[in-house]
Amino acid sequence: MTPEELSGLVVDVIRAAVGERRLDLAEIPDAVVIERPKNRDHGDWATTAALQLAKQAGLPPREVAEVIAEGLRALPSIASVDIAGPGFINITLAAGAAGELARAIVEGGPGFGRGATNQGRRFNVEFISANPTGPLHLGHTRWAAVGDAIARVLEASGAEVAREFYVNDRGVQMDKFGASIMAVANQQPVPEDGYHGEYIKHLAQRILAEQPDITALPEAEQFVAFREAGYRLQLAQQQGVLDGFNTHFDVWFSERTLHESGAVERAFAKLRAQGHMFEEEGAVWLRTSDFDDDKDRVLRKSDGELTYFASDTAYYVDKRDRGFDVCIYLLGADHHGYVNRLRAIASCAGDDPNINIEVLIGQLVKMMKGGEEVRLSKRAGHMITLEDLVEEVGVDAARYSLIRYPVDSPLVLDLDLLVKRTNDNPVFYVQYAHARISSVLRNAGELGIDWRIAEFDPAQLVHERELELLGALGDFSRTIATAAELREPHRIARYLEDLATLYHRFYDNCRVLPRGDEPLEPMHIARLWLCAATRQVIANGLDLCGVSAPERM
RNA sequence: GCCUCCGUAGCUCAGGGGAUAGAGCAUCAGUUUCCGGUACUGAGGGUCGCAGGUUCGAAUCCUGCCGGGGGCGCCA
């Protein structure tokens, strides 16, 4: 039985009790909270329904619990019900009912655990959005992993999701970038405020190889040619690297197209109609201070130039025009000052900033190697890039370790640890469990055991370790739903680590395959189903992290 | 000055108002005729930064302080 099914049973019992006037409730809940008790002595599952409903029922929680417990005890799939503490209801399932979950998981396959809490909602998840003026650094790498995982988790909750990368291909930084490449190509010193990385030299060399006559162009033309060629090459570099990082964007949105397509004018028209635009000192402003922002923002400077803020504004309006219900932004902590102004944009556009826009702020990433912090600097020559990290630890370890912490906690990656193939390294611990199960199932095949077509008797699963494992498996759906709702994919990783531990404990105590010349018993088949179910959940969970589930390692 | 994040075991960190606050590492002590020991079992280790408040109940929510990271001024 899945916890969702159990929740349904509890609701049925409550409804019946209300019908018989044993409970007096104005409103019967659609579902109740079903949790695994921390202490296994308390049974398979627990619900706080009585505590939640006591006030409404006008009864002490324990009396409400007694009514619910009585109804549950009459059900054949429930072995026993206890009331504890202030009114917890602890439930132990009948032998076969708990084990049926393994069948549901195996039959559910890759789709097991998915939910519908976000069915029908369209999300735009924007992340990284680096300038196309250099390689992606470690901060970008965190967003690549986390943003993609958030998108995956949202999809698993039924949502339609677009992953979007905003390309800042307009403005001063692009010009500095172009000027830097041109300077190097002409063997001149790079401007003081330009880009100095080694990659600038490589870009210059490639462009010179492709366009040998480029330095013969007049300076103004040459500058544009270098800038555009560098842009094309650098963007392609970022795209290739992200592709290799298992992060695939649906939309690469160029800031230039925002201006060329008339999106800026459309956005301005909308904001003007909403009544939040005004002119002062020759500049055009958005009155964001009408909302949470601490001051008004300039859209068009007095010299006629559009500000970066104007692009942000038009971009948001454009996303909403494209039909997204919720626009999620992932920004680094160094951009946290943008939160209020972004939310104010939504408000000025007539949207609800608590519904249509979400800005997630992530703390920055540090990296340790040999006990020393490696400093990051986009402008400096010594830059730690996504490729550097992947080269050292691989895509799986990189993604997993970036995902397994809440984004609002600062992250320190210990490279020396991440290359270890031991269980200090959580991704190996989880992947190892998957490989170990795969091995057991392979061995079953070699013994001629086809557990899939053999009859599965779930009542065979009665060992304490088996029930523990089943309980954890049953928590997977709720973990996904919570991770999606809170935009916290790290919960998936933590869940997988707990699940792996419980699998190892089961494996240590419960022999799965018949030994030597032992006959094949129904218990063996049942345990193989449990193994297969566990492997499926681990694989599904790793997929939500964008991490591979190896059958051998 | 204002904003924001953090403060939980020796270390790195989980813990969306619920039962005795958890995990990994580290330390110490154990476990294997045969399915992957890259595993498992046990022990020690805590005024959950401090003080108030909200309520049946607070590590969790609110306020104030202390300590630390980061940010903010027609810049991109």
CATH number, domain containing residue A29: 3.30.1360.70
Say if A217 falls within a structural domain: no
Q: Determine the Cα–Cα distance for residues A505 and A433; give it in Å rounded to an integer.
A: 11
Through-space separation of residue A40 CA and nucleotide B47 C1' in angstroms: 29
Say if A320 falls within a structural domain: no
Name the residue range of residue A510's domain. Answer: 422-545
Among A64-78, A256-270, A332-346, whose mean pLDDT is lowest? Answer: A332-346
Say if A502 falls within a structural domain: yes
pTM above 0.90, yes or no: yes
Chain-centre distance of CA A498, in angstroms? 18
Please give the full DSSP string across A279-341, using - where no structure is assigned: EETTEEEE-GGGTT-SS-EEEE-TTSPBPHHHHHHHHHHHHHHTT-SEEEEEEEGGGGGGHHH
pLDDT band at A434 (very low <50, low <70, confident <90, very high): very high
pLDDT given for residue A55 in this prediction: 78
Domain total of chain A: 2
User: Are the C-beta atoms of residues A503 and A75 closer than 8 Å to each other?
Assistant: no
For residue A98, give the 3-state DSSP assignment: helix
**Which nucleotide shows the minimum CA-to-C1' distance to residue A172?**
B76
A146 vs A333, more confident: A146
**Which nucleotide shows the minimum CA-to-C1' distance to residue A516?**
B34
- Within residues 39-98 of protein chain A, the ones with CB less than 7 A from nucleic strand B are 39, 41-42, 46, 48, 51-52, 84-86, 88, 90
Q: Are strands A283-286 and A78-84 parallel, antiparallel or unpaired?
A: unpaired
User: Are the C-beta atoms of residues A99 and A527 closer than 8 Å to each other?
Assistant: no
Chain-centre distance of CA A497, in angstroms? 16
Residue partners of A7: CB distance under 8 A and separation at least 6 = A31, A32, A33, A34, A47
pLDDT given for residue A382 in this prediction: 60
- H/E element, A163: strand A160-167
Q: Other CB atoms closer than 10 Å to residue A360's CB: what's the count?
A: 19
Q: Determine the Cα–Cα distance for residues A322 and A126; give it in Å rounded to an integer.
A: 14
- By residue count, chain A amounts to 553
Residue range A61-76: mean pLDDT, rounded? 92
Q: Determine the Cα–Cα distance for residues A369 and A151; give it in Å rounded to an integer.
A: 31
Choose one of A48, A72, A93: the last residue of a domain: A93
- pLDDT at A51 > cutoff 90: no
Say if A476 falls within a structural domain: yes
Edge-to-edge strand ranges of the sheet holding A357-362: A251-254, A160-167, A122-126, A326-332, A357-362
- pLDDT at A28 > cutoff 70: yes
Say if A149 falls within a structural domain: no
Choose one of A48, A63, A93: the last residue of a domain: A93
Task: Choose among A501, A530, A480: nearest CA to A429.
Answer: A501
Residue range A331-335: mean pLDDT, rounded? 84
**Which nucleotide shows the minimum CA-to-C1' distance to residue A513?**
B35
Through-space separation of residue A175 CA and nucleotide B75 C1' in angstroms: 15
**Which nucleotide shows the minimum CA-to-C1' distance to residue A131?**
B76
Residue range A432-447: mean pLDDT, rounded? 96
Residue partners of A276: CB distance under 8 A and separation at least 6 = A286, A287, A288, A290, A348
Q: Determine the Cα–Cα distance for residues A363 and A490; give it in Å rounded to an integer.
A: 14
- pLDDT at A432 > cutoff 50: yes
Q: Is the CB of A311 under 7 A from strand B?
A: no
Percent of chain A with pLDDT over 70: 98
Q: Which nucleotides of strand B come closer than 7 angstroms to any CB of the protein?
A: 2-6, 12-16, 18-20, 22-26, 33-41, 56, 69-76
**Which nucleotide shows the minimum CA-to-C1' distance to residue A282?**
B74
Q: Are strands A277-280 and A251-254 parallel, antiparallel or unpaired?
A: unpaired
Q: Is the CB of A485 under 7 A from strand B?
A: yes
Report the CATH number at residue A426.
1.10.730.10
Say if A482 falls within a structural domain: yes
Token pair, residue A410, equals 């600062």
**Which nucleotide shows the minimum CA-to-C1' distance to residue A312?**
B76
Q: Determine the Cα–Cα distance for residues A367 and A398; give it in Å rounded to an integer.
A: 12
Instruction: For A367-389, write each residue's pLDDT tens digit.
Output: 777 777 765 444 345 667 888 88
Instruction: For A103-152, write each residue's pLDDT tens digit.
Output: 999 999 999 999 999 999 999 999 999 989 999 988 899 999 999 999 99
Through-space separation of residue A345 CA and nucleotide B68 C1' in angstroms: 33
User: Are the C-beta atoms of residues A396 and A425 closer than 8 Å to each other?
Assistant: no
A52 vs A463, more confident: A463
DSSP conformation class of A523? H
For residue A88, give the 3-state DSSP assignment: strand
**Which nucleotide shows the minimum CA-to-C1' distance to residue A35?**
B18
Please give the full DSSP string across A390-442, using - where no structure is assigned: HHHHHHHHHHHHHHSS-TTS-EEEEHHHHT--STTSHHHHHHHHHHHHHHHHH
For residue A123, give the 3-state DSSP assignment: strand
pLDDT given for residue A378 in this prediction: 42
Q: Is the CB of A336 under 7 A from strand B?
A: yes
Residue partners of A57: CB distance under 8 A and separation at least 6 = A23, A24, A25, A64
pLDDT given for residue A375 in this prediction: 59
pLDDT band at A101 (very low <50, low <70, confident <90, very high): very high
Choose one of A78, A93, A108: the last residue of a domain: A93
Kindly report the average pLDDT of chain A as a whole number. Answer: 91
Say if A229 falls within a structural domain: no
- Within residues 359-418 of protein chain A, the ones with CB less than 7 A from nucleic strand B are 361, 363-364, 405-406, 408-412
Token pair, residue A110, equals 């890759």
Residue range A220-225: mean pLDDT, rounded? 96
- H/E element, A45: strand A45-47
Say if A142 falls within a structural domain: no
Residue nearest to nucleotide B2 (CA to C1'): A294
Instruction: For A145-168, write each residue's pLDDT tens digit.
Output: 999 999 999 999 999 999 999 999
